Amino acid sequence: MKLYKRKLHDPAPLGQADPYMMKASNGKYYIYATGPSGPQLYSSDSLMEGWEYRGCCLDMTGQKNCWAPCVVELGGKYYMYYSSMDEDDEDEHGQTMRVAVSDSPEGEFRLVKNLLPPFSIDSHAVVTPSGMYFFYCVNEYEAERVGTVVMCDKMTDPLTLEGNPVCVIRPTLDEEIYQRDRFKEGQHWHTIEGAFYFCVGNTHYLMYSGACHQNPTYFIGYSVAHGAPDADLRTLDWKKYPDDNTYSPLLSKNDFVEGMGHNSVIFDNGKCYIVYHGRDYGSEAFRNDSGIPEDTRSARIDEMKIDGDVLSVEPTR
CATH number of the CATH domain containing 164: 2.115.10.20
Domain count of the chain?
A: 1
What integer pLDDT is reported at residue 291 of this predicted model? 53
* 1, part of any domain: no
Residues 6+ positions from 66 with CB-CB distance below 8 Å: 34, 35, 36, 37, 38, 39, 58, 60, 82, 83, 84
pLDDT in tens, the chain (317 residues): 999 988 878 999 989 999 999 999 999 999 999 999 999 999 999 999 999 999 999 999 999 999 999 999 999 999 999 999 999 999 989 999 999 999 999 999 999 999 999 999 999 999 999 999 999 999 999 999 999 999 999 999 999 999 999 999 999 999 999 999 998 888 999 999 999 999 999 999 999 999 999 999 999 999 999 999 999 999 999 999 999 999 999 999 999 999 999 999 999 999 999 999 999 987 765 555 555 556 789 999 999 999 999 999 999 99
268 carries an active-site annotation = no
* 294, part of any domain: yes
Among candidate residues 153, 193, 258, 295, the one labeled active-site is 193
Q: How far apart are CA 139 and CA 93, in angstroms?
A: 10
Our CA angle for 70, 94, 208, nearest 5°, is 40
* 289, part of any domain: yes
- CA dist 122 to 44, 129, 276, Å? 24, 23, 14
User: What's the whole-model pTM score?
Assistant: 0.96
What integer pLDDT is reported at residue 295 of this predicted model? 78
* 14, part of any domain: no
18 carries an active-site annotation = yes
* 9, part of any domain: no
* 3, part of any domain: no
Q: Is 51 exposed, middle or buried (0-12, 13-18, 19+ CB in 10 A)?
A: buried
Q: Which residues span the domain enclosing 47?
A: 20-313
Which amino acid is present at 222? Y
What integer pLDDT is reported at residue 9 of this predicted model? 83
* 2, part of any domain: no
* 178, part of any domain: yes
